[in-house]
A and B are shown apart, each in its own frame.
Chain A
Amino acid sequence: MMRYPHAPGALLTVLVLAASAGWSQETAPSSDPATAVAREENGRYYTADDIPTFNIAEDGTVDWLTYSGFRRYHAECHVCHGPDGEGSSYAPALKNSVNRLDYYDFYGIVAGGIQNVDAGHNNVMPAFGTNVNVMCYLDDIYVYLKARGTGALERGRPAEREDKSDAIREAEESCLGA
């Protein structure tokens, strides 16, 4: 189940069955296996394929990672990709890219960068692999963009959010080396 790369601290997480978190009653039903929540782990949500995903309750409350992803996206990605994952004159709409790419492709491009340079294009995305401000929040940014891309999350700042779990806080501090 640990096939996916993520923040080092997350390796210490303990499997918690979904029922105990109570999400199954509150979550808007999603039949798409690419984003549907299969289980929760200390405030993180995963699909049946162990891919991080968002969790948005019927009252609009978002999970911590989706909220955090909103913040990190608008700090690190927005200056090229435009607000709310919508794209810009400079770089593509990532809310669409995450529907086209799988999680591992997404991870690889952010870490290693990508270039499209020819007679008609000068698109160059840098490698963020050494940037902890991005890499420690990659799952956050990914689930935020998935929430945007599937239409589960409107533009703008999510109004209500779950609290940051201790496990997420510990993983963040460990990753940042704080």
Chain B
Amino acid sequence: MRSSLLMSAAIFVGGAVPALANDELMGMMDDPKQWVIQTGDYANTRFSELEQINKENVGDLQVAWTFSTGVLRGHEGGPLVVGNMMYVTTPFPNVVYALDLNQEGRIVWKYEPQQDPNVIAVMCCDTVNRGAAYANNTIFLHQADTTVVALDAMTGEVKWTKQNGDPSAGQTNTATVLPVKDMILVGVSGGEYGVRGHLTAYDMATGEQRWRAYSTGPDEEMLVDPQQTTVLGEPIGENSSLESWEGDQWQLGGGTTWGWYSYDPELDLVYYGTGNPSTWNPSQRPGDNKWSMTIMARDPDDGMAKWFYQKTPHDEWDYDGVNENILVDQEIDGEMRQLLVNFDRNGFVYTMDRATGELIDAKKYDPAVNWATEVDLNPESETYGRPQVVADYSTREAGEDTNVEGICPAALGSKDQQPASFSPETGLFYVPTNHVCMDYEPFRVSYTAGQPYVGATLSMYPAPDSHGGMGNFIAWDARTGEIKWSLPEQFSVWSGALATAGDVVFYGTLEGYLKAVDAETGEELYRFKTPSGIIGNVTTYEHEGKQYIAVLSGIGGWAGIGLAAGLTNPNEGLGAVGGYAALSEYTALGGQLTVFALPD
């Protein structure tokens, strides 16, 4: 039975042997009945052609079945669907369940790695894992302890494992992996432990390392060609990273790679973002701190960099630049462009030409954003491409041991990793956002391997003079650079969105609601309260002619840590009763998959 499904997947692409381009995998991504990698497709649109559930009938949605993962921690990512099989990944200890949809979700196999629990202690902000990916009859998982593992999709048998990092030095993993051609690409976490970030490619069949590209350091270790690699259209030059740090600080420089990865098969380029420079105290790392906070475009064959763009040079706020890069083709000023759209933590959405790395536009996608007035878009300017930082909100100018108040957004960003969705039908992006500001006080810290290396004190609170909530779910039009509509939410929206051809957009809330809204107007069409807060990403698939919506519940992650007790409300006096909206009053731990469908 299991083999029949995988066979049917093969038939879908004409039984082709996986070519260099991995046509089989791309064919499966194009099949809306399946959801084979976490992002749904290489472009990271999180859009589905399925339309059985549409804006006329979504109000009738019902829970079809549920599944407890047996793990209590924050559940990010989502289930995969490959033929009649569903694969569910959990937070630490990173269990993978293979469920047979033909047998009402019977567990066909379960993989539970033995990991040293000490790895938990070096994972900043919960033991989340944003899920496995499928390719070539294999489930690929990158565990918390940085073990990369290839599992036989039908049996769960371990094909190979590879150690990508050293947890005792604070190197851990929370991200998914991206299968490209005959490789899988993996990142690393640990920006708060002084970890030097990198992206690494492993051979899909053997686990052999093909290449590793560091985010900081010498050109040859970053896989940068001083002449061929470009930044905003100009050659990057020699030693671009080394010259942007003082001394050897680049070795502890962060720029980790724990976000999402995209791929354009036609341009043959992979895209990802690098995280914050380390430490959070900017006075300890003068310079632009390249190439932290950077969108990177690389050739997957050898890892060589095609172009870089640094969004937040010399970060002073922990605006960790790892968010997903969504690849879309849209008409701008009457011309069809190959775009890369990135909703960055720093509150700006960057629209770039993904072939050349040209910066087309950069706009605030939350009106509360105040740390910079704008991004300089004038190619003739000396500050081309740089944010125009407001001195009052510069934690570097204020200096160590000074508390800078009222910075928007907070360190968790106008958006964290929770991925947005793009509908080619409406041309709009649907973006889960945070509406939170902060006070930030940097101070000096010492580095000890495997120990936190933070160097700042933060207080966070809902954006002042707004609706009082900590989040919005917005529709963004990149063609005009405007918010089309914005739905206020009491808490940050920490769930990945899903847009469908049924003109419906789905997202989850931290209280635990799965919500469905009209893709054009944002009108709420359906809500259901799942057992725990949702920080997972909404998925859809079709099985035996029926469309399903699936989402993981399980509060946790940064949201569960930062918001569990609520935040101080700046609009009320100190100690005011009811001044805190505490997430802990709405939800408790517990991992569960909830699957929805229309009634028969």
Please report A residues at the B interface, Cβ cutoff 8 Å: 70-72, 74-76, 78-84, 86-91, 93, 113, 115, 117, 120-128, 130-134, 154-157, 159, 176-177
Contact = CB atoms under 8 A, between A and B. Distances in A.
A93 B564 CA distance: 11
A131 B124 contact: no
A133 B567 CA distance: 25
Task: Tell me which of B71, B74, B121, B460 has the highest count of chain A C-beta atoms within 10 A of its own C-beta.
Answer: B121
Contacts of A127: 121
A29 B441 CA distance: 32
A176 B458 CA distance: 22
A71 B117 contact: no
Interface in B448-464: 448, 450-460
A111 B118 CA distance: 15
A89 B460 contact: no
A74 B580 CA distance: 18
Closest 7 A/B residue pairs (Cβ): A89-B560, A86-B565, A126-B121, A124-B120, A88-B561, A131-B451, A74-B457
B325 to A, nearest CB: 26
Nearest to B533: A89
Contact of A82 (B453, B457, B562, B568): B562
Nearest to A84: B565
A75 B454 contact: yes
B147 to A, nearest CB: 17
Contacts of B460: 83
B451 A88 contact: no
A133 B452 contact: yes
B565 A87 contact: yes
Interface residues of B, number: 50
A79 B443 contact: no
A157 B118 CA distance: 32
Given A82-B565, A84-B565, A122 B93 contact: yes
Interface of B: 71-74, 92-93, 117-118, 120-122, 124-127, 192, 403, 439, 441, 443, 445-446, 448, 450-460, 555-556, 560-562, 564-568, 574-575, 580, 583-584, 589
Given A79-B192, A133-B445, A89 B459 contact: no
Contact of B556 (A86, A90, A133, A176): A90
B564 A82 contact: yes
A90 B122 contact: no
Contacts of A126: 118, 121-122, 450-451
A121 B451 CA distance: 23
A130 B455 contact: no
B454 A79 contact: yes
Nearest to A120: B72
Nearest to B568: A156
Nearest to A155: B568
B531 to A, nearest CB: 14
Nearest to B555: A89
A113 B561 contact: no
29 contacts: A71-B443, A71-B457, A74-B457, A74-B458, A74-B459, A78-B561, A79-B125, A79-B452, A79-B454, A82-B562, A83-B562, A84-B565, A88-B565, A89-B555, A90-B74, A90-B126, A120-B72, A123-B120, A124-B118, A125-B121, A126-B118, A131-B448, A133-B451, A133-B452, A133-B453, A155-B568, A155-B580, A156-B574, A159-B574
A157 B122 contact: no
Contact of B567 (A74, A83, A115): A83
Contact of A79 (B72, B561, B589): B561
B153 to A, nearest CB: 27
A34 to B, nearest CB: 23
B117 A86 contact: no
A167 B459 CA distance: 28
A132 B454 contact: no
Given A82-B562, A122-B72, 17 more contacts: A71-B443, A74-B459, A75-B443, A75-B457, A80-B561, A81-B561, A87-B565, A89-B564, A89-B589, A90-B125, A121-B72, A122-B117, A126-B122, A128-B451, A133-B452, A133-B455, A177-B446
A127 B584 CA distance: 27
B93 A89 contact: no
Task: Tell me which of B93, B122, B459, B589 has the highest count of chain A C-beta atoms within 10 A of its own C-beta.
Answer: B459
A85 to B, nearest CB: 9
A72 B445 CA distance: 10
Contacts of B92: 122
A152 B555 CA distance: 31
Contacts of B120: 122-124
Contacts of B74: 89-90
A88 B564 contact: yes
Contacts of B403: 157
A124 to B, nearest CB: 4
Given A79-B452, A126-B122, A89 B556 contact: yes
Contacts of B446: 132-133, 176-177
B448 A154 contact: no
A122 B591 CA distance: 14
